[in-house]
Amino acid sequence: MVVEVDKHLLPMKGHYFLFNAGTAPVVPFIPTLAKQLGYSSVIVGIIYTILPIVGLISKPLFGAIGDRFHIQKRLFIIFQLVIIVSFFAINFIPSIPANSEFHCHNGATLMKFCPPNLNEIDKCMIEQVVDENNANTFGAHMKCEKNSAWRSVCSYWNVPGLCESSDKSVTINSFIAHNRIERLGDCFHLVFSNGTINDHSTTLYCPKDKDKVEMSCQVDFESETVSELFAGATDDQVKTTYQFWTFFMMLVISWAGMAVVVSIGDAICFEMLGNKPQKFGYQRLWGSVGWGTFSIIAGLLIDKFSEGKTSKDYSIGFYLMAGALVFDMIVSSRLKHTQTKLSTNILKDVGKIFKSFRVVVFFIWCICVGIGTAMVWNFLFWHLENLAATQESCSYDSSMKTLQGLVMGIQCFGGEVPFFFLSGKLLKKIGHINAMNLVLVGFVLRFFLYSILSNPWYVLPIELLNGVTFGIFYATMASYASSVAPQGTEATLQGLVGAVFEGVGVSTGSFIGGILMDKYGGAITFRYYALAFAVFFVCHLIIQWILERIYGPHEFHCDYEQPYNTIASDAFFFDDSDLQQPIIVRK
């Protein structure tokens, strides 16, 4: 038996593989990187509420530009470069300086830290930092705001001109030993006695007979471990830092780039497939292969390069990203794509689609799936890390990125790849409506199982359900949009469907998930989501039953055997009165 390979489509397969291989070492780790940099789950939820809205705007906007000016391929490659630059910049953004109180009282000088996210901090990290047997020191650079009590002690520190200075803050550099750190309830006291102010070494003497002196300070530590433990601030304080805004803006730019590349890439793929749209899954599954392969590699390498460190070193993931996406640009430049389908009025043609109530229901279903997908994309790893922190052994933390890489590997190879491979036959057999119901049921089961996890490694078999909740969903969403799109609007409609999924669904799910994670933790949050999707499933069943009773059979069929040159307007259901018979879109 000789297997024929369509060389015309090889660059398309190569793009899907390399693009997903490039984003896999970075994208899924961004929420846990943000956690390490000192952001709360509420802040992360807000970030991921806004990012999909960026996609909501970018996908249809640049899809329409690509359709209107026939520059799909050019935009496709330009935005790959944008992704490389913006993602790589994130690797160099420092953590937020720790906020603390300087205390000088009863003969002792110390810094007091009360981390706002103490309940989410790994206990193993606390044990390594607060170690009474470790006399090693680390540098601390403190910038403290002067107040009225400042003058009662500054004269004792013997620094020329210190008390007379009109500066509103004072910078103190000192060294602190691990065995001089004490935990008292939800706070930590870092005791020290010597320091350097204005290049003058001094003893930070605090007389016992003076009132307590307290100053608000920002502190940078030379120890990565200590920095991570004490990193962070209140949510209001975080929003005033340049670190946060730089991090946020780089994510906005990279998300816009990914949105454009994904939507235009799918449109180019369907254009190249011509009258064989059922073969889309065969192309897209290579994306899952790339994502699964490189997510496992990235997880292993991040753990390897983090050995001896209590905080994770994500740098290797950013280098893998840059290398894979550079190759993707080279491969994408070899795509033999000519935009042949043109629309004289894109907005009018796309607008006709929404005259059907059933299409509107389909878009609402995409929103619901987006709400659930947000929890998997943005908070599953967060939940696993918090779960690992509750375990007795600290070994779970050292292998956490390996576990997370395996999670993504199983999601792809055990879930997405087989379902993408079978998506054409599956949709032809069960239809789009039954596929929608199956996706909702998959989410109910998946979220419930997350909510009862007792060991983070038990998550691995659950990830097989990703084939249902993402593999079937993505194939259904993309093929539906391609089938109902009037000629010349393919990129626009692909962008619009994806924008509704991410810009409305994922955005909403991220906002709700961030708040619930902060208030209730992962287990209860996932249980609430399981209940919500059970309700979505029942509502969807009822709505489709009512539509069938009113308008008759409503299954969406694609007759892939018949070629087409043009698609007449009466081939689409533009209003509900047309829905008396099953719809046949000839491709």
pLDDT value at 346 more than 70: no
Task: Give the whole-angstrom CA distance, residue 309 versus residue 315.
Answer: 13
pLDDT tens digit string along 17-67?
A: 999 999 999 999 999 898 888 788 888 999 989 988 887 788 778 877 877
509 pLDDT tier (thresholds 50, 70, 90): very high
Residue predicted with more confidence, 92 or 117? 92
Residues 464 and 566 in one domain: yes
CA gap 384, 122 in Å, rounded? 12
Number of domains in the chain: 2
102 with 83, same domain: the answer is no
pLDDT of residue 247: 94
Q: What is the pLDDT of residue 88?
A: 95
Cα 339–Cα 340–Cα 342 angle in degrees, nearest 5: 95
Q: Is the pLDDT of residue 581 over 50?
A: no
Burial of 144 (0-12, 13-18, 19+ CB in 10 A): buried
Structure tokens at 471: 């593999």
Q: Which two tokens stand for residue 523?
A: 């287990």
| Domain end call among 178, 201, 231 | 231
What are 200-203's contacts with CB under 8 Å, separation 24+?
200/158, 200/159, 200/160, 202/157, 202/158, 202/159, 203/157
pLDDT of 119 over the 50 cut: yes
**Whose CA is closest to 56, among 534, 357, 501?**
501
Residues 359 and 443 in one domain: yes
DSSP state of 210: S
pTM strictly above 0.95: no
Statement to judge: residues 181 and 256 lie in one domain: no
Mean pLDDT of 548-564: 51
Q: Which residue, chain included where needed, has tokens 């419930």?
A: 448
Instruction: Give dist(CA 315, CA 299) in Å, integer.
Output: 12
- Whole domain around residue 457: which residue ranges? 15-94+239-340+354-390+399-586
Could you tell me if 89 and 250 are in contact, meaning their C-beta atoms sit under 8 angstroms apart? yes
Q: Domain boundary residue among 206, 231, 256?
A: 231
Lowest-pLDDT range of 43-52, 172-181, 341-350: 341-350
Q: How far is CA 220 from the centre of its chain?
A: 27
Residue 104's pLDDT is 84
CATH at residue 65: 1.20.1250.20
Average pLDDT on 127-132 reads: 80
At residue 487, the pLDDT reads 64
- 266 SS3 class: helix
> CA-to-CA distance for 48 and 44, rounded, in angstroms?
6
CA–CA distance, 372 with 510 (Å, rounded to integer): 9
Looking up tokens 């065995």, which residue turns up?
A: 179
Query: 373 with 494, same domain?
Result: yes
Same domain, 51 and 86: yes
Look at residue 106 in the predicted model and tell me its pLDDT: 75
Give the chain's mean pLDDT: 80
Q: Which two tokens stand for residue 317?
A: 């993931």
- The answer as to whether 450 is a domain residue is yes
Biggest CA-to-CA distance, the chain? 94
What is the torsional sign of CA 46, 48, 49, 53?
positive
Which range of 103-112, 137-146, 214-223, 475-484 scores highest in mean pLDDT? It is: 137-146
**Mean pLDDT confidence for 428-448:** 89
Check whether 563 has a pLDDT greater than 80.
Answer: no
Check whether residue 419 and residue 461 sit in a common domain: yes
216/18: higher pLDDT: 18
**pLDDT at position 486 over 70:** no
Mean pLDDT of 443-458: 94
For residues 89-100, average pLDDT: 84
